[in-house]
Amino acid sequence: MEMRDFGGLGRVSALTLGGGGIGNVWGPVDRAERVATVRAALDAGVTMIDVAPTYGPGEAESVVGEALGGIVPDGVMISTKIELAGAEIDSLERRIVESLPASLKRLGVDRVDLYLLHSQLEPDGGPSRRTVSVRTFREIVRPTFERLVSEGRTRGWGLTGVGHPEALAEVLADDPPPAGIQCVTNALDMTGDMWIMGPDLQPDNAGTRARAAEAGVGVMGIRAVAGGSLADALDRDVDVDEPAARDYEAAAGFRRLAAERGVSAAFLAHRYALSLADVATVVLGVKNRDELAECLAAEAAGPLPEDEMRVIEALRLA
């Protein structure tokens, strides 16, 4: 598998195994199969596993812990997250510090390589308790992350790059910048239900990725299949008014294009995400070995030609 630069943390495989599928976020799967999926990913050359205590909850981390058996293979990195949405200001530091040991215990490791803020950033004075303001991030969150780095409990810290574009741009320009950032990366630029900033503001996924890469921050591409909307079929029942259902309908042209190329929509979607120059690694939401195999095949196929990338991107305007 191709290895790519991931900022100050070194090199990483083009594919990362995400925790959504193995944490049963995308529907229930036998635990033994999910453990086998983790081991198959490592055997195939995947060198990063990205989980969170909210996936399951705790299930994704526990599955990885069982698969590893207390031994992390050389060169393999693990990332986990902390969700601060809705927390009182005076509890933020405590929550950040206390969440990590519980994650480490479930994972069966002494430290992680990347500890990510799972909440979204917003400029100072934002109205929502579902976000973290830039000021709060600078005054409380980042110093706490940096203390955990100095204590050896994580090698670096990072962000979820789906918040307010201006807030993300501010923090990416700070010194020090994050070690990694997770950014929406899919063919039709669908952010889905992750976007909580309202209809009067639009995400800037491409701009955030570009700014992060320019700052030397490792970009982890997420939502390559837009929560299943860029697959041949949704793998779970969703209400017609849910973002995933609406996005699936909007992606009909993408599915037709994939069929014309003789490949599945998920294969083409992953190959597109893997072809973006500013993405260090694409995070997979797979929940079994069959889905993993399709993603491995997309990586093995190599980058899409530039003209094919433009054909796909034109579908956003169709």
Q: For the chain, how far is it from start to end, CA to CA, in angstroms?
A: 34
| Integer CA distances (angstroms), 75 to 18, 68, 71, 280, in order | 17, 13, 12, 16
Residue 314 to residues 72, 147, 310: CA-CA distances in angstroms?
Answer: 42, 45, 6
Q: Which pLDDT score, from 0 to 100, does residue 127 have?
A: 53
**Contact indicator for 96, 141 with CB cutoff of 8 Å:** yes
Per-residue pLDDT of the chain (318 residues; tens, 9 = 90+): 999 999 999 999 999 999 999 999 988 899 999 999 999 999 999 999 999 999 999 999 999 999 999 999 999 999 999 999 888 899 999 999 999 999 999 999 999 999 999 999 999 876 566 799 999 999 999 999 999 999 999 999 999 999 999 999 999 999 999 999 999 999 999 999 999 988 899 999 999 999 999 999 999 999 999 999 999 999 888 898 899 999 999 999 999 999 999 999 999 999 999 999 999 999 999 999 999 999 999 999 999 999 999 999 999 977
pLDDT of residue 237: 84
Supply angle C-alpha 87, 88, 94, rounded to 5: 80
At residue 87, the pLDDT reads 86
Q: Compute how many other C-beta atoms are within 10 angstroms of the C-beta atom of residue 135.
A: 11
pLDDT, tens digit (0-9, with 9 covering 90-100), for 205-228: 999 999 999 999 999 999 999 999
Q: How far apart are CA 96 and CA 159, in angstroms?
A: 13
Query: At a CB cut-off of 8 Å and minimum separation 6, what does 242 contact?
Result: 193
Q: How many CB atoms lie within 10 A of CB 98?
A: 11
Of the candidates 156, 195, 192, 199, which has an alpha carbon nearest to the alpha carbon of residue 176?
Answer: 156
Evaluate whether the domain defined by 3-317 bears CATH number 3.20.20.100.
yes
Predicted pLDDT at 126 = 61
- The domain ranges of the chain are 3-317
* Gyration radius (Cα) of the chain, Å: 18
- What per-residue confidence (pLDDT) applies to 26? 87
